[in-house]
Structure 1
Amino acid sequence: MQEYRDLEPEELALDSSFQRWQLGTDPVAGAFWREWLIQNPDKADLVGKAASLLLSLHTTYGQQFTERLPISEHEIQEEISRLHDSLETPVVSAKWFQWAPFRYGVAASVLVVLGLFGWHQLRPSANKTPETYTELVAQATESLSEVNNTTDRPVRVDLPDKSTITLYPKSRVSFDRQFAGTKREIYLSGKGFFEVVKNPSKPFYVYANGLITKVLGTSFTVQAYDGAGQMKVVVRTGKVAVFTQKEVALNPKKETYKLDGIVLTPNQQIVYSTEKIQLKKSLIENPVLLEQASQKQQFAFKRTPIADVFATLEQSYGVPIVFDKDLMRACYLTAAFTDEPLFEKLDLICKTINASYKQVDGTIQISSNGC
């Protein structure tokens, strides 16, 4: 959200998300901007100026756009003059705020842009980022195959590259029949468990109602039902990067492989709140042993340095454990575990060495005063 702080009012007025909020066409955008103002109270004046300009232009030219009439140079000059003449007249913006007028010669630059490109730049539905399954499938350029699971049990979907999807009830996917391009792209509505064949030269993307998950070869679950308030990505093996369609929209010149997604490893998940426009990384409720560890790992310790104990847990569950090695250098553990869940193991270990732990951003953080 930092990039909005650096905009001029006329630039903000041309932002599609800001327009959808001010013109009342997108409740999700409205929630985003209300939260943004809470986090950036010093930018209220910026928002007010942009809103005043946008609403003025919308009032003046909305009808002309509806009737497909061109905006003339004379009308542009008249609007510039009108804006300057209203310097001492209060202006009411959108329904959320009331602002004082602004002395802004840059209004002219906005109007010139509108004169060049037409009022469609400010049309409420213009430049809307495609997010839903229907929108994404509609904009796809390749010929897609669709599988719709209308049964009451999961079904297996075989993809052209030998990857598979376990598609849950009330879910559907669409994909290129050949994966002929430089990317393997899947469009999902609902819930699916993916087992992806590795192919570094052709990355694998899952687009699911506002979330994008990128992998090279791994297994993971995506849950993103139409109209749901939360979306979720859970990793079983390998590594994925998760980012949102809005991030792509805000960086239109940036390739998706260069976007700064949130990286997930086994036993980690992302929960995306559509109301708060927020990605939250955490551990899954009950982390499981990695496949390679489940068959050979022993959890028997006899006066073992605590650093080695935590390293064993990290390797077995793939969950980062953060602690102060110097402070806990004198801590040792003698214990034997079998099939206890990870958090139960940690409870017992921490009680033994007089420590505590908490989950932070998909990791385990240990607190201790030493031994």
Structure 2
Amino acid sequence: MQDRNNFTDIEDFLSNESFRRWVRFQVDDEKWEDWTLEDPQRAKLVEEARLWILAMNISENSVSKLEIERAIENTWNKINNKASKLAETAEDSSYFWKNNWVRSAAAVIVFGMLGSWFYQQNDFLSNSSPIYNELIAENLEGLVEQTNNSNKPQIINLSDGSSVLLQPNSKLSYPKIFIGKERKVYLSGEGFFEISKNPKKPFFVFANEIVTKVLGTSFRIRAYDNQPNIEIIVRTGKVKIISNNTVAKFNKDEIELLPNEALRFVRKNLEFNKITDITTDTTLSSSNNTIEKLSFNFSDTPVAQILKTIEQAYLVDIDFPIEKLKNCHLTTSLNDQPLPEKLKIICRSLGNNTSYEMNGNQITISSEGCD
């Protein structure tokens, strides 16, 4: 690593992973804060670089302007205290810092606007963590990247029959066809996964610092790169979680989660906190999405009602022949099934050349009615 005492440009700091981790996750292994406070002039350059990183990773839905201003003000208070001790011969150090604060406040506004523009343009620096990009760069399968820049979830169907409900401000990279003995996808943001069962071909979700391994189950991962925590909540089945070797092997043992259990990875302390009952955690219990609250067990239920439940869960639109299916009822369990499999089970149960087509969040079902 380049000697940071030789850093003279903002680009030197932006390209330094340790510096980015300190700014974004408050992980200060390299003692950046102490080093910064040693020299008021150095602090000026560090703060400008810090503002760049904050601006380029702002998410309007998760970080308010007030929170950013408070964080910057706290940092400047520390710098001011240190500077007052160091600048014994300065004629008017307070004037310098006040002027610099005005410049910094202006930089927040300008860089915030730049960050928002970068995000809208799907630029590398907007909503994409360095870890995520390092991971997909190492994959040799030829990945497809799906980014959700809308204000509602998007459904992604994978080649193995699995499905992912990708939340806004999130992205998923995956191969067109899974090859080899493993299935790997890469997430930055939040997604609800329903994985097609295949014991011979385990499924891995790489979400920044952590890796989730499954065989066939449903679970949610929340791994925004600008948030203090990563969370995994299991709805059905079983998952195993380890730390990502690409970043650091800070957790050597697998952590197993069962239904209604969760794991919170605290980035600041690199700690794994297991929650054995998500109802006891107000943050987790209040953040459940609609798909996690609905039951997919049906007993002599009208098909129209089943399709309505699917619409609510996945936020999709389903077009089907209402008159032909109005007298059709089904008894079935669609829990722990990806969306494509749910639709296939319904179509097979109805018979009479019933089939479906899916185009994004629009589903069309063709049928001649019940057998």
Q: Which structure has the larger Rg?
A: 1
Both structures adopt the same fold (TM-score exceeding 0.5): no
Q: TM-score range by the shorter chain?
A: 0.3 to 0.5
> Given the two structures, how large is their TM-score scaled by the length of structure 2?
0.42
